[in-house]
Structure 1
Amino acid sequence: MASHAPWTECGMDCEVQSKHTFRKTDVLTMSPWLAPIIWNGSYDSAILNAQFNQRDVHVGITIFAIKKYTFFVKNFIETAENVFMIGHKVTYYVFTDRASDIPVMNLNEGRSMSILEVPSYPRWQDVSMRRMEMIRDFSHERFFREVDFLVCVDVDMRFNDEVGVEILSNLFGTLHPGMFGVQREGYTYERNPESEAYIPANEGDFYYAGGFFGGSIEEVYNLTNFCHNAMMKDKAKNIEALWHDESYLNKYLLLHKPTKILSPEYLWDDDFGIPDFLKRRRFLAVRKNHNEMRNRR
């Protein structure tokens, strides 16, 4: 794929072509391999909700509340209950080393929370990377029996606007807000040729965020299995990829193209400002002291 900076601001938003068909004119809405890029106005939620209700879809969402990150669980779930997959069955899978710190939550009908006790690790980098192993193992052991799709996100976030079935697909990734509009050579891929996450400067499609990905259970298993095995190979060589699990995620999504791509509406940090192309900020970073939260016990 040629070097690209495909996002332009032309002062236009959505043009309605018919009652149920939309065309975005200010941003890229389709990848070169014909995977849709999901933006506000690019889909009809009523049609999609009807389709997924007919299938009686059950969605699982994973978060990791390790050490002091249990602090974020209450706000995460409260905001999700207002706007995440409304009208559909949802299970929150909370991975934690402090089960007693997870609050009891009042959830809407058809929604549940499952607390999964897992070990912690001394370094936050290891906590981050081991997420892939844990999601893989639980996908194999139980998720495939309980849910149809898995959404894997960071816990230190809050839902700010609707996130629904428009995101669901066999395999989806989310465009990283910090890399949005950057030329391909500027993507912060792993550049060490000895690493299993290595991507040369002349390769790559998009830069995907590690904080929002998912798909069918089978595809999430394949992704997390690849990432974990690649990390273990690098660890044996005393190599640690630049952005840890996110680096391996980007390698996997280069080799195995996602069937749907989420725009930065679905993962935003207000520290980047609010640009004109961003009509909705659906999932927002919670402001915090990263070093304090990562290193406190």
Structure 2
Amino acid sequence: MTWNPQSPGGAARGRAGQQGWGNYPPDKEHSFAGLPRTPKTQAQSLTALREVGGSAKSHPGSAGAQAQTLHPEMRCRRLALGLGFGLLVGVALCSLWLYVENVPPPVYIPYYLPCPEIFNMKLQYKGVKPFQPVAQSQYPQPKLLEPKPSELLTLTSWLAPIVSEGTFDPELLHHIYQPLNLTIGLTVFAVGKYTQFVQRFLESAERFFMQGYRVHYYIFTSDPGAVPGVPLGPGRLLSVIAIRRPSRWEEVSTRRMEAISQHIAARAHREVDYLFCLSVDMVFRNPWGPETLGDLVAAIHPGYFAAPRQQFPYERRHVSTAFVADSEGDFYYGGAVFGGRVARVYEFTRGCHMGILADKANGIMAAWQEESHLNRRFISHKPSKVLSPEYLWDDRRPQPPSLKLIRFSTLDKDTNWLRS
């Protein structure tokens, strides 16, 4: 506030100053530290205020002390929040542990078993379908020797052709399939003493199997060095795949479906269009050509093609996933011959292997190992083409008049010695 000589107080002070009244009491509202409010004292007061403000900025000790008094409260609050969060996490983990401990054990669901990595594999072009049990169906059994005992049935009740000599034109089929530039794969298992059959099998295949087409042989063996070097024709390849030798001969049969499905998923689906799975202890007798190609192909067993289905050696125990009722079944198919498009063979072998794993988890082995599961699978997943016993014959049996030509048949062998 400045001095105004026009105000009453200002006029009085002015007069006192002019008259020399030095003891005139200063007005406290217009003074600083008891000094008169003059321009000089006003400037001094402003300078003092600036110095006090600067010293407060350079010494923030009082504000820091006030902030430090808040730290213990914040630490207590954070500690309480941490303890509460830890308690919630502990309760959640305990609940999860109790849930896992109380999950019931699996019975027939192979996905809960310590299965191999095959169940996580997928083909690049085909999604993997989950294993589903199927309901039973009842219908009359088809008869292969209808309508006449000397003639074979040529069509199944689900409209799948039954291939036999005289039901196709080989020249016409060759003209249809040859431009497709197909590659046909063929798998056989030669484990232990069965390696002695590899040479005769390959020599007969080079002579009769899919002549004029590209062929890729896959030999699964526990002794790769025992596979002989058989000369192959142009466009025909051979791959030897090493496998572990099982301790029992039954394991060769039960592990076959697993090995084939793994091989398809890992490799064969990129190399072949069709894949046939045959037994190595057999030989080709006559041409085997493109008439056998189909989505899913099965061969009728030579020992039961004229028998009623009640006499088929199906697995009859209800506890097995391969169980077949007396009222079920079309034909009894042999496990020595099956095939089709590589994607369908993958699904088929994977399904059979899952059934085998489910039985193994429950301490069960089907009556005829993989052949029992193969027949169960073909009942619920019908083959698109059926091969007559011409393509799977037993030379120990006399050839009936209904079979005009034998194309693939067994060798005479001592089975007990081979499995010892």
- Which interval holds the TM-score relative to the shorter structure? over 0.9
| Worse-matched range after superposition: 244-253 or 1-10 | 1-10
More strand by share: 1
Question: In structure 2, what is the Cα distance between the partners aligned to 1:273 and 1:9?
Answer: 22
Match of 1:126 among 245, 248, 251: 251
| Worse-matched range after superposition: 44-53 or 233-242 | 44-53
* 1:274-289 paired onto structure 2 within 5 Å: 274-289=399-414
Unaligned runs of 5+ in 1: 13-25
**One-letter identity of the residue aligned with 1:181:** A
Match of 2:356 among 215, 226, 231: 231
- Superposition deviation, residue 5 in structure 1: 3.6
User: Could you tell me which residue of structure 2 aligns to residue 293 of structure 1?
Assistant: 418
Question: In structure 2, what is the Cα distance between the partners aligned to 1:74 and 1:225?
Answer: 29
- Superposition deviation, residue 6 in structure 1: 3.7
Indicate the structure (1 or 2) with the bigger Cα radius of gyration.
2
SS of structure 2 residue aligned to 1:210 = strand
- Superposition deviation, residue 178 in structure 1: 0.5
SS of structure 1 residue aligned to 2:303 = helix
Contact kept in structure 1, 2:144 and 2:305, CA below 8 Å: no
* 1:264-279 paired onto structure 2 within 5 Å: 264-279=389-404
Contact kept in structure 2, 1:152 and 1:211, CA below 8 Å: yes
- Superposition deviation, residue 10 in structure 1: 4.5
User: Could you tell me which residue of structure 1 aligns to residue 160 of structure 2?
Assistant: 35
Q: What do the CA deviations read for 1:60-95 (whole angstroms, capped 9, x no partner)?
A: 000000011100000000011111100000011000
Q: What do the CA deviations read for 1:26-46 (whole angstroms, capped 9, x no partner)?
A: 110100000000000101111
Aligned: 1:151 with 2:151: no
Aligned: 1:247 with 2:372: yes
Aligned Cα root-mean-square deviation (Å): 1.2
User: Could you tell me which residue of structure 2 aligns to residue 214 of structure 1?
Assistant: 339
- Superposition deviation, residue 284 in structure 1: 1.0
Q: State the structure with bigger RCO (CA 8 A, min sep 6), 1 or 2.
A: 1
Question: In structure 1, what is the Cα distance between the partners aligned to 2:237 and 2:343?
Answer: 22
Q: What do the CA deviations read for 1:144-176 (whole angstroms, capped 9, x no partner)?
A: 000000000000001001101100101000000
Question: In structure 2, what is the Cα distance between the partners aligned to 1:97 and 1:227?
Answer: 23
**One-letter identity of the residue aligned with 2:382:** K
Q: What do the CA deviations read for 1:113-164 (whole angstroms, capped 9, x no partner)?
A: 1001111111111111101000000000110000000000000001001101
TM-score w.r.t. structure 2 length? Answer: 0.66
**One-letter identity of the residue aligned with 2:220:** F
Number of aligned pairs?
282
User: Could you tell me which residue of structure 2 aligns to residue 116 of structure 1?
Assistant: 241
- Superposition deviation, residue 3 in structure 1: 3.4
**One-letter identity of the residue aligned with 1:72:** F
Question: In structure 2, what is the Cα distance between the partners aligned to 1:60 and 1:248?
Answer: 23
Contact kept in structure 1, 2:142 and 2:156, CA below 8 Å: no
Contact kept in structure 2, 1:9 and 1:277, CA below 8 Å: no
More helix by share: 2
Question: In structure 1, what is the Cα distance between the partners aligned to 2:143 and 2:392?
Answer: 19
